[in-house]
Amino acid sequence: MTETKKLICPECGGGLHEVYAAANYGRVLLLDQCRGCGGVWFDRWELYFVTDKSIKDLEGIDASSFVAPVAPHPAKGHCPRCEKELAIFTDNNLPKDALIERCPGCNGLWLNRGELGKYAAHRNAFRAKRPDYNAGTAELDTLKHLQKELKVGNIATPTTLELASNLRNETPINSKEVAKDLAFLALQSLVRLVFKF
């Protein structure tokens, strides 16, 4: 039987415990929250799927239930998963006043207590400003951001005519192009899930 690694809070050095949070389409996320300071660890992409109600539940934890502060831990400021040093994460899609830290190794995000509420307020304000939020422009903006995030570059999907001519000419398959096409399809599916298209 394998023993699971105990995750250490990057803020106060306390232990993280698993909490369930509702996500889009009735799914459930398994997040990690600190019992000492109330901060939450999101593995890659999880922050973008969590519902507003779950954010309120995570932020609304009774502060008196937190344990006493713990002594500084050597892992403070480091990713609880891969232990790389966290860096401040800035993005036009995230609130400028929220301190969100990101792991350069696994792309997880750390939000201190209170920062999650700022993120939710920013997300809701953005949606309120854009009545066309669920239209193609939001999908395209997010897709461009995800492409940059994955360092895929400009991905062009081949047309049916191009695919047919490749089959007729028996041109060797370029595995890099296939990988780009698959990445594009995965990103497009992810965007459709996030924005409920």
In the chain, count of helices (H) and strands (E)?
6, 6
Q: Which residue has the higher pLDDT, 24 or 86?
A: 86
Q: Report the C-alpha dihedral over residues 140, 144, 145, 148, rounded to 10 degrees.
A: 170
Rounded average pLDDT over 57-81: 64
Asked if 171 and 164 count as a contact pair (C-beta separation under 8 A), the reply is no
Decide if pLDDT at 7 tops 80. yes
The pLDDT value recorded for residue 87 is 92
Closest by CA to 33, choosing from 80, 74, 73, is: 80
Q: Which residue has the higher pLDDT, 76 or 26?
A: 26
Rounded average pLDDT over 169-190: 71
Residue 29 forms beta bridges with which residues? Answer: 21
Minimum mean pLDDT among 27-31, 77-81, 154-158: which range?
154-158
Q: Which residue has the higher pLDDT, 157 or 16?
A: 16
| Long-range CB contacts (within 8 A, 24+) of 126-132 | 126/93
Q: What value does the mean pLDDT of the chain take? A: 75
Minimum mean pLDDT among 41-50, 82-91, 142-151: which range?
142-151
Decide if pLDDT at 42 tops 90. yes
The pLDDT value recorded for residue 136 is 46
Q: Which residue has the higher pLDDT, 69 or 51?
A: 51
Q: What percent of the chain has pLDDT over 70?
A: 65
Closest by CA to 155, choosing from 185, 197, 193, 135, is: 185
The pLDDT value recorded for residue 31 is 94
Tokens of 6: 């105990």
Domain-wise residue ranges, the chain: 16-129, 136-195
pLDDT tens column, 126-147: 777 766 555 445 555 666 666 6
